[in-house]
Amino acid sequence: MADWAAKRFWKDVTVHEEPEGFSVRLDGRPVRTPAKTPLVVPTRPMAEAVAGEWDAQDEKIEPLKMPTTRSANAALDKVAPQRQAVVEMIAAFGETDLLCYRAETPEALAERQAQAWDPLLDWADETFGARLTLVAGVMPVAQPAEATARLTRQMEGMSDFHLAAFHDLVGLTGSMVLGLAVAQAVRTPQEAWDLSRIDEDWQAEQWGRDAEAEAFAEQKRDSFLHAERFFRLAER
């Protein structure tokens, strides 16, 4: 049983317009999510990306090579049934936003953080009226309730598909401000990822790079860049 894997059983992969969006069919049969929900996505480009992943499968199906399909499944099976819980989970990052926590020492690291992160905190204040409090060290501090509420309100207009991507944009960086900056195209995904890695890059400069840690970080970066692409695919 350990060697068992689902095998490709279809020849043709097609995209079909539905009343509520676009579906992907395998030899005419609609694709369903793991929870048996019909996989209907909001835009044709997203459906075509999903179809491309299914069409690229060889003899054995490899889900890890189907990131768009997995994100669409998450939107339908995980976000849609418990949307408010997902919103609250993401909002919690605004209360402990990475950009607010600054090094006490060394001074050079604190200066690097300030130069990189202060402009984004200023942007969040100017754009959303959300001024977050800076913290020296790692001990949590309560953020102004109105500021975090205003950041949270930015999720109200997001579809379930946007929210699935936004969850990863925020969770992978530990920053709701960075997630919003990417969602609103204020920073490119690569720029935002680099900003989220300032502490790790500093440590690597001082002590050298660890191959295993670097490989894990690269996997996270790829997931982050995919989340941004999925967010764009959800835009009508």
State how far the Cα of 43 lies from the Cα of 49, in Å rounded to an integer.
10
- pTM recorded for the entire structure: 0.94
Phi, psi angle pair for 100, to nearest 5°: -90, -15
**Are the C-beta atoms of residues 172 and 223 closer than 8 Å to each other?**
yes
- Start-to-end C-alpha separation, the chain: 43
State how far the Cα of 97 lies from the Cα of 148, in Å rounded to an integer.
10
Mean per-residue pLDDT of the chain: 94
Structure tokens at 118: 């202060």
pLDDT tens digits, 104-144: 999 999 999 999 999 999 999 999 999 999 999 888 889 99
The pLDDT of residue 126: 98
Eight-state DSSP code of residue 20: T
* The residue to which tokens 């001990």 are assigned: 139
Question: Residue 22 forms beta bridges with which residues?
Answer: 17, 41
The pLDDT of residue 150: 97
**Residue 133, Cβ neighbours under 10 Å: how many?**
12
Q: What is each CA distance from 196 to 6, 63, 92, 206, in whole angstroms?
A: 37, 28, 17, 18
Phi, psi angle pair for 22, to nearest 5°: -135, 135
Structure tokens at 104: 């006490």
**Are the C-beta atoms of residues 100 and 63 closer than 8 Å to each other?**
no
Domains of the chain: 13-65 (3.30.2180.10), 82-233 (1.10.3580.10)
**Are the C-beta atoms of residues 49 and 70 closer than 8 Å to each other?**
no
**Residue 206, Cβ neighbours under 10 Å: how many?**
9
Longest dimension (CA), the chain: 62
State how far the Cα of 27 lies from the Cα of 24, in Å rounded to an integer.
10
236: confidence class by pLDDT, cuts 50, 70, 90: confident
pLDDT tens digits, 6-64: 788 888 999 999 999 999 999 999 999 999 999 999 999 999 999 999 999 988 888 88
pLDDT tens digits, 60-75: 888 889 999 999 999 9
Distant-in-sequence, close-in-space partners of 117: CB < 8 Å, separation ≥ 6: 99, 195, 198
